[in-house]
Structure 1
Amino acid sequence: MEIIPNILVVGSMNMDLVTRAERMPAIGETISGTGFNTIPGGKGANQAVASARMGANVAFIGCVGDDVYGNTLVETLSKENINVERIEKIKDTPTGIATIIVDEKGNNSIVVVPGANALVSTERLHKSKELINWCNTIVLQLEIPLDTVIESIIEGKKKDKTIIFNPAPVQELDEKIYKYVDYLIVNEIEAKQISKVQENNHRELVESLLSMGFKNVLMTVGEQGVWFNKENSIQHIPAIKVKAVDTTAAGDSFVGAFATFLAKGLDKESAIKLAVKAASITVTRIGAQSSLPYLREI
């Protein structure tokens, strides 16, 4: 009988304002774009949808503005059968937005304006303790206040929950949480900034993070795949070769899929391989949540 895990995501919700162009503009330059879309996004919401589409029961704690974008974002998660009861609509505060430029090679540049995401407070977290009791796994990022992320990690470990932490966009972290994080998922840039090691050797970067006290490290390196620790060694799983059209949400797809397959009882390496497959599908499609695959596609 298949295990259906309960996953709690504490995180951000943004409306992505996506402009497509042949290339990125230089400073001070105006160029013509080739397309524009508004697409539901935000790292937390993306990871929640990715988990739900892989077969998890998902609940979300977050904030949006009491505006059109906020209503749309909540409705979108609800349609994915995600529990949205603990998403608060805040008056006189805009919903978070991300302005994204995607070039013809699928590369992107992103500016995030947090809006209501900045109000996902520890007080709001404590009002939602029933969800911490309910879940098996807590998934976290850094588009909400760091204090709330730290409190989520500590409260989760008190209840013996699996903590999956994707520290993006990266910032200075509190060392006291390292030992409470079960799985740290970073890209190469984040790994360098957290470890303060500017080493280009992927194996050594993972080792440096493990030496800081993290139990399990998964470092994604785009089209080169994923490096991770297994027992007493550092191992590599290659990416699947595809033609990328938009790399937006590839990392979120990986995180959500990995969290779900791990919570279903798969071993770490098997969960990584399936998450790599999910991310490879994501980059062949345009947008954030619109690009996330379903379990039947994996």
Structure 2
Amino acid sequence: MTIKPKILVVGSINMDLVTIAKRTPTIGETIIGEDFKMIPGGKGANQAVAAARMGAEVAFIGTVGEDIYGERLIETLGNEGIDISGIAKVKNLPTGIASIIVDGKANNSIIVVPGANLMVQVENLYANMELIDWCDIIVLQLEIPLETVIECIIEGKKRGKTIIFNPAPVQSFDKSIFKYIDYLIVNEIEAKQIAETDEEDYSKLVEKLIEIGFKNVLITIGEKGVLFNEEDEIKHIPALKVNAIDTTAAGDSFVGTFVTSLGSGANKNNAVQNAVRAAAITVTRVGAQSSLPYKDEI
């Protein structure tokens, strides 16, 4: 029987304001866009939705503003079957937004205004300790305050939870927490920043991250696929060739699918393969949560 993992995501919730254009304008230039969409997003929320669509039981801890975006985003997560009891509304700050431009080559440029995401404080964790006790796996990113993420990593590990860390965007943090992290999932830029190296050999980059204290490392390298360690071997799984139209949320799709597959009993290699397939589907669709696939699609 397939295990249904219990996953807690602690992270950001944004409304993505997506503009489709043939290219990104230069400084001082105005161009005409081709389309505009408002799509639920935020790295944390995206990963939660990705996991829920893959069949996990998911709960979320985060914050939104007391505005129409916040109302819509909470409703959207609830409609995905996610436990939204850990989402707080805060005054005096708007719900987070991400302004995204997607060009004709499917590349994106993003400006994130965190807004209420800055209010995901340590107190929120302790106010929702029943969710931490409930889950098997905790998934974290860095679009919320660093001190909250660190406290969650340490507190979760004390309670025997599997910790998945996707440190995006990268910040400086105490290396003493590396030992508490079960799986580090990063892209090549984030990997170099954390390892403090310009190493271009991705296998050596995985090894470097292991040397500095991480147990399991996965580096996503876009259309080149994924590198990861399994026992004493560095493995590479290539990306699937697809007609990409928007890379937004591809990484979040990967994380949510990998975590759910792993928690459902798949070995690391199979979990990565499932995640690669999910990410490939995601880039063929526009937007963040709107592009995330369901389990029966992979």
Secondary structure in structure 1 of the residue aligned to 2:16:
strand
Gaps of 5+ in 1: none
Q: For 1:1-298, list aligned pairs within 5 A.
A: 1-298=1-298
Aligned pairs, number: 298
- Quick one: which amino acid aligns to residue 214 of structure 2? F
Post-superposition CA distance 1:114-145 (Å, at most 9, x none): 00000000011111110111000000000000
Instruction: Compute the TM-score of the two structures, normalised by the length of structure 2.
Output: 0.99
CA distance in 2, matches of 1:226, 1:49: 22
Post-superposition CA distance 1:80-133 (Å, at most 9, x none): 000001100112210000000000111000000000000000011111110111
Residue 176 of structure 1: how far off its partner (Å):
1.3
Identity %: 67
Gaps of 5+ in 2: none
Secondary structure in structure 2 of the residue aligned to 1:241:
coil
CA distance in 1, matches of 2:44, 2:231: 30
Residue 239 of structure 1: how far off its partner (Å):
0.4
- Quick one: which amino acid aligns to residue 126 of structure 2? H
Residue 245 of structure 1: how far off its partner (Å):
0.3
CA distance in 2, matches of 1:127, 1:153: 16
Residue 200 of structure 1: how far off its partner (Å):
0.9
Residue 61 of structure 1: how far off its partner (Å):
0.2
Residue 171 of structure 1: how far off its partner (Å):
1.0
Secondary structure in structure 1 of the residue aligned to 2:17:
strand
Secondary structure in structure 1 of the residue aligned to 2:170:
coil
Residue 30 of structure 1: how far off its partner (Å):
1.3
CA distance in 1, matches of 2:5, 2:247: 27
CA distance in 1, matches of 2:244, 2:177: 35
CA distance in 2, matches of 1:189, 1:31: 30
Cα RMSD of the aligned pairs, angstroms, is: 0.6
- Quick one: which amino acid aligns to residue 6 of structure 1? K
Instruction: Compute the TM-score of the two structures, normalised by the length of structure 1.
Output: 0.99
CA distance in 2, matches of 1:286, 1:297: 17
Post-superposition CA distance 1:212-267 (Å, at most 9, x none): 10000000000000000111121100000001000000000000000000000111
CA distance in 1, matches of 2:47, 2:9: 8
CA distance in 1, matches of 2:27, 2:198: 27
Aligned residues of 2:2 and 2:265 also touching (Cα < 8 A): no
Aligned residues of 2:102 and 2:109 also touching (Cα < 8 A): yes
Post-superposition, which runs of at least 4 consecutive aligned residues in structure 1 deviate over 6 A? none
CA distance in 1, matches of 2:276, 2:221: 11
Residue 147 of structure 1: how far off its partner (Å):
0.4
CA distance in 2, matches of 1:23, 1:200: 28
- Quick one: which amino acid aligns to residue 95 of structure 1? T
Residue 29 of structure 1: how far off its partner (Å):
1.5
Post-superposition CA distance 1:55-91 (Å, at most 9, x none): 0000000000010000000000000000001100112
- Quick one: which amino acid aligns to residue 105 of structure 1? K
- Quick one: which amino acid aligns to residue 230 of structure 1? E
